[in-house]
Chains A and B, each alone.
Chain A
Amino acid sequence: MKTNDLIIQTTTKVVFFIIFLFSIHIFFAGHYTPGGGFVGGLLMSSAIVLLLLAFDLKTVQDMLPLNYVMVTAIGLIIALATAAGSIFFNVPFFTHVYDYFNLPLLGKTSIHTAMFFDTGVYLVVVGVTMTIIQMIGGDE
């Protein structure tokens, strides 16, 4: 039996980008307001879950050709590299630094190395959640 899912698919195409932008906002706002890597990663994976609900596993794999185990590994490597980078400057493990940079388009921005650690957390959360959901949802 083929059913027609036009309304949910059209809604998903709009709502996916709203959730995606909200996830990016929560990730970058984590330093001064509530949020951070964990909540942002969970929101990103819930956006992908919404795509999985409206379409199917094969279509989403064609849309986002990501190997989520590799995403988890890259996130762990980024987090560990941020933590280990401090020992090359004769300071203790996990020491963070920040400075102000003049970025194009953004102007004066403070860049903190905790943000790179948070990027690692974000990628690990997205990878682990999507691996679990694809493993459970994709049985024959």
Chain B
Amino acid sequence: MITFLWVIVVLISAALLGFIYRLVKGPTTPDRVIALDAIGVGLISLIGLISILFDTPFFLEVILLLAVLSFIGTIAFSKFTEKGEIIQRDRNS
């Protein structure tokens, strides 16, 4: 069981390396934004696996926190690429 978990950790780390390659290499800004979002998901799954390996439930709040922060960060980036400003003063005018 422990070997199986470590194999998954290695696989997710390899996937993270692929995301980082896309983050560095990505030709356009949306590629990099999606790579950052996918890195967030990869980190969430790594934290889940590590909390199984360390046999503690105390990391589970970090998972939800990281999901919230990754969501808000992705929305901020995509609003910046679409509208050029992140927080509008009055969107109806």
Contact of A35 among B61, B68, B75, B83 (CB under 8 A): B61
Let me know if A53 and B79 touch, CB within 8 A. Answer: yes
Q: In chain B between 21 and 48, which residues have their CB closer than 8 angstroms to a CB of chain A? A: none
Contact of B89 among A34, A53, A57 (CB under 8 A): A57
**A interface size (C-beta, 8 A):** 27
Let me know if B89 and A58 touch, CB within 8 A. Answer: yes
Q: Known contacts A22-B64, A57-B88, A138-B87; can you find 9 more A-B pairs with CB under 8 A?
A: A3-B82, A8-B75, A22-B68, A33-B58, A34-B58, A53-B72, A56-B92, A58-B90, A133-B87
Q: Which chain A residues lie closer than 8 Å to B76 at the CB level?
A: 53
Interface residue ranges, B against A (CB under 8 Å): 58, 61-62, 64-65, 68-69, 71-72, 75-76, 79, 82-83, 86-92
Give B60 Cβ to nearest chain A Cβ, in Å.
Answer: 9
Main secondary structure of the interface of A (DSSP, over half): helix
A52 at the interface (CB under 8 A from B): yes
A121 at the interface (CB under 8 A from B): no
Total number of residue pairs linking A and B with CB closer than 8 Å: 52
Interface residue ranges, A against B (CB under 8 Å): 3, 8, 15, 19, 22, 26, 29, 33-35, 39, 43, 46, 49-50, 52-59, 133, 137-138, 140
Contact of B61 among A15, A19, A33, A49 (CB under 8 A): A33
Contact of A56 among B61, B71, B75, B90 (CB under 8 A): B90
Output the nearest chain A residue to B58 by Cβ-Cβ distance.
Answer: A34
Contact of A34 among B61, B79, B82, B92 (CB under 8 A): B61
